[in-house]
Structure 1
Amino acid sequence: MTTPAIQWYPGHIAKAQRQLQQQLQKVDAILEVLDARIPLASRHPDLDRWTRDKPRVLILNKADCISTAQLQSWQQWFERQGLTALPTNAREGKGISRVRQAAQQAGAAANERRRKRGMQPRPIRAAVIGFPNVGKSALLNRLMGKRVVESARRPGVTRQLRWVRLGQDLDLLDAPGILPPKLEDQQAALKLAICDDIGEAGYVSEHVAGALLDLLPQVDNRLEAVLCDRYGFEALDKPGSLLVHQFARDRHTGNVERAAKQILTDFRKGVLGAVALEQPPE
């Protein structure tokens, strides 16, 4: 049976993307928020073209969801690409002060150019950009020190662009999560679905949970014992999709949807451990 393609592009994203592209002409720096579990899959393929030569800081949010060694590997890899990658846990407020400092430093060149033209400095303008549910709004609220934008553990909460002022020297643009109109890389789309970075309307939980069971032992062979212990498998000796059905029969009276959602929720909440689904390219 062919696995359905993963696609999700609600109308508010198309509108927000057009508005965002217009606003990007006015910003001095970009804060690109990534999901630390999938730093490559959660990068928008068109962002380089939209932002061109604007300074950029990468935010590896949900850094607590991966191991320290994995985090350091990603930071070193991005550094080799000429990019600064700062780890944060926006939910708990960790790493926030460094983000503010980095945004100010990244945008400082704009005020230097103004000074040379005899103009007064103005607040630096930085856009906070990323896929849905990677933690942009939670990050912004932590930077502000109060709840200024709606934030929730689901994609699609932020639907409009909004400027907010942080002190006297930094303006931040909070943008809705943006996705390409078509997810060409279905392996990347699958990781987005696993990590809850696209809406549930874009995928079938049963297929995504099965793919997760296939993927986890590949990224860390120690996880096979964890999965067997938690879900009652004797061994991972069959495709993940069949294991989901087995778990449904054994623990959920045959309810495959409920079984699949438990597996996905366990991963998303860290019950299965600190696990990165991607490794830096060699």
Structure 2
Amino acid sequence: MGKKTKGGSNLGRQLIKDRFGHTARRKVDNDTMLHTTELQDGYDWGRLNLSSVTEESSFNAFLRTAELAGTEFQAEKLNITFVNPKQRVGLLSKTQEQHMHQKHAEHIDQLKIPRRPKWTKETSAEDLERAENEAFLNWRRDLALLQENEEILMTPYEKNLEFWRQLWRVVERSDVVVQIVDARNPLLFRSVDLERYVSEVSDGQKLNMILVNKSDLLTLEQRQHWAQYFDGEGIRTAFYSATLVEEELKREAEAAKLAAESPSTALELKELRQAAEDIQHSLDAVEHTLDAIESKIQPKKESQQVKLPRLPGDRNSAHLLSRLELIDFLRHIYTGPRNSSQHVTIGMVGYPNVGKSSTINSLMTMKKVSVSATPGKTKRFQTLFLENDILLCDCPGLVMPSFVLTKADMLLNGILPIDQMRDHVPAVNLLCERIPRHILEDKYGIVIAKPLEGEDPDRPPFSEELLLAYGYNRGFMTSNGQPDQARSARYVLKDYVNGKLLFALGPPSVDQSEYHTFPERQRKVIEESQLPSQQQRAMRIDKSSSKELDNQFFTDKPSTAHVKGRTNFPHVRLANDGTLVANDAGAAAKPWRNVKKERREKLRKKFSHLDEH
């Protein structure tokens, strides 16, 4: 190394002086030194804490609660319960499900979102922040008591106050608040209390609306059921599919590119598109006719029910809106007083993974917001002009409190990220209960092990049975040569979340078996005995058929004598005629070898005496 210069030795000190002044030491009010860990000059200093917090460990929950309350806490030992694993682990019985649904109905009014405290222009920022922290702490305490006292499971709602502050600002600025929900389970993603809060903020002047995204996964009849249900709830609803719109935009871009290269081909595409539009107009005419017939029947049904407030304008339509139709719908849906006379402000609110960002991007025809299934991707609300008279206000994705039956429900609905799950068995068990065996076999081209003798032949497959067959078929094997069930579970669960394994829940007024039906088996039935022996062994772990157990039991012959008390006598054996005879090998084996030294002499004499006789 070269010789150190005077300037080189002081380089670090000079950098410190340039950043902190002539001295790096800092003092507090009482003239004492400030520790380096207390210097608020790091990368995160001055930045909002906008990392989404939905699921916390018990320790982190204690820390955050103590921080919000400004108090200390004492740690206590938690009660530990050992659960024996079962084949149907993580699922509730039919009786338990009915009991939990009753509890949900009784306590639905306690399922709230945090409210922003009242404030005026004279309220200081410190007082408002203190009031917000106190209200937020009380809200979290009420939900925790509800879960503890009633033993009710709910979604791991957002526990970062900064995200709720973003929602408050969106609600205050918007004329219409649109809740974007997943078409496969709209009621799980709908927050009724958010609709109440919107009405409270504006004294009923702001409008609530539900946009059912991913509606291409539903049939026309299923969309009609939901349109009638939300009609009865008194809330405007529209059906949309961001995925279909994005695919259509890609096709139009490719067609425009092709038109520039080949005009004749573009003309043919134009004629085909015109024919498709004519067919669509015919379908719309049929749909309007059905709506007219239904409108004549509807008053008879409503006369038997409690009258609910009706909405101004037309009834909800089950029509799947295109991009331009949805823009026109948003332009004319609101006729009340606006925050701005120049445009209507549409607030977009929704859970992560319901397609909120994809919906905005499809409306804007370009990527304006980042798309992610993980909470917290969108940090702050942002405003985007869709048209000169339509302003979109995008709120960060929020996991709001909602009742669920099991944690597996949240995984299948995309509320919890699959890549971070710790136990895949309950979620896959629930998937197997919802998706029939023949659909799984047709989808993946596999053969799932049939139930054993004595079991219900029509029962759904267990998690292990599906994942063993899937893992072997895909070549997902562990180091010990067995199918990798954890890796297989992630693929299967993501197929369910993405809609490749389709299961849609209907409104409460419709029987589920009639609402969602599955197609018949498409592939030929293959018996398990027809598969290669290696695949048969891989499909079953620690499971033997009754025939194998019988062969194993009856072919083994006893080779020792069984009497009351001790059964291991090395010096005797069982003869063919059933009598006991002396075993020479037992005497020669020196049975006293493992006995203590002080007893060896006596045992030698004893066994020598037996040999003489």
Sort the TM-score into its range (normalised by shorter chain): 0.7 to 0.9
Q: Which whole-Å deviations, capped at 9, do the CAs of 1:84-127 have from their partners, x for residues lacking one?
A: 2211111221633233223222333124xx8xxxxx82211110
User: 2:355 matched to 1:140?
Assistant: no
1:117-132 aligned at under 5 Å gives the runs 121-132=341-352
2:335 to 83, 103, 108: 108
Moved more, 162-171 or 194-203: 194-203
1:18 to 145, 165, 179: 165
**Amino acid in the other structure paired with 2:429:** G
Structure 1 residues 3 and 194: alpha-carbon distance in aligned structure 2, compared to 1, 3 A threshold = same
Q: Give distance in 1, aligned partners of 2:158 and 2:177.
A: 24
Q: Give distance in 2, aligned partners of 1:207 and 1:14.
A: 31
User: 2:507 matched to 1:280?
Assistant: yes
CA contact (8 A) 2:408 2:427 kept: yes
* Aligned residue in 1 for 2:416: 198
**Amino acid in the other structure paired with 2:243:** R
1:186 to 393, 404, 408: 404
Q: Give distance in 1, aligned partners of 2:386 and 2:489.
A: 41
* Aligned residue in 1 for 2:209: 57
Q: Which whole-Å deviations, capped at 9, do the CAs of 1:232-264 have from their partners, x for residues lacking one?
A: 225585876x72212233332332222222221
* Aligned residue in 2 for 1:254: 483
Offset, 1:133:
1.1
User: 2:318 matched to 1:99?
Assistant: no
Q: Choose 1 or 2 for highest CA Rg.
A: 2
Higher strand share: 1
Q: Give distance in 2, aligned partners of 1:267 and 1:205.
A: 13
Offset, 1:45:
4.4
2:433 to 214, 236, 240: 214
Q: Give distance in 2, aligned partners of 1:137 and 1:186.
A: 25
Moved more, 198-207 or 91-100: 198-207
Q: Give distance in 2, aligned partners of 1:83 and 1:44.
A: 12
Structure 2's unaligned 5+ residue stretches are: 1-82, 84-88, 92-152, 246-320, 472-481, 510-613
Q: Which whole-Å deviations, capped at 9, do the CAs of 1:12-69 have from their partners, x for residues lacking one?
A: x542222211331221111110100001011124312321132122111011222332
CA contact (8 A) 2:441 2:448 kept: yes
**Amino acid in the other structure paired with 2:187:** L
**Amino acid in the other structure paired with 2:430:** A
* Aligned residue in 1 for 2:113: none
* Aligned residue in 2 for 1:227: 440
Q: Give distance in 2, aligned partners of 1:202 and 1:110.
A: 46
CA contact (8 A) 1:96 1:139 kept: no
Q: Give distance in 1, aligned partners of 2:208 and 2:183.
A: 17
TM-score (structure 1 length as normaliser):
0.80
> Secondary structure of 1:125's match?
strand
1:258-269 aligned at under 5 Å gives the runs 258-269=487-498
* Aligned residue in 2 for 1:117: none
User: 2:471 matched to 1:244?
Assistant: no
CA contact (8 A) 1:63 1:87 kept: yes
Q: Give distance in 2, aligned partners of 1:7 and 1:61.
A: 21
**Amino acid in the other structure paired with 1:264:** L
1:30 to 172, 177, 182: 177
CA contact (8 A) 2:177 2:208 kept: yes
Q: Give distance in 1, aligned partners of 2:195 and 2:209.
A: 13
Q: Percent identity?
A: 22
CA contact (8 A) 1:16 1:161 kept: no
CA contact (8 A) 1:87 1:95 kept: no
RMSD, aligned CA: 2.9
Structure 1 residues 9 and 60: alpha-carbon distance in aligned structure 2, compared to 1, 3 A threshold = same
* Aligned residue in 2 for 1:84: 236
Moved more, 201-210 or 60-69: 201-210
Offset, 1:175:
1.0
CA contact (8 A) 1:6 1:190 kept: no
Offset, 1:228:
4.4
Aligned residues: 263
CA contact (8 A) 1:245 1:254 kept: no
**Amino acid in the other structure paired with 1:21:** W
> Secondary structure of 1:40's match?
helix
Using CA pairs under 8 Å that are at least 6 residues apart, name the structure with larger relative contact order, 1 or 2. 1
Structure 1 residues 43 and 152: alpha-carbon distance in aligned structure 2, compared to 1, 3 A threshold = same
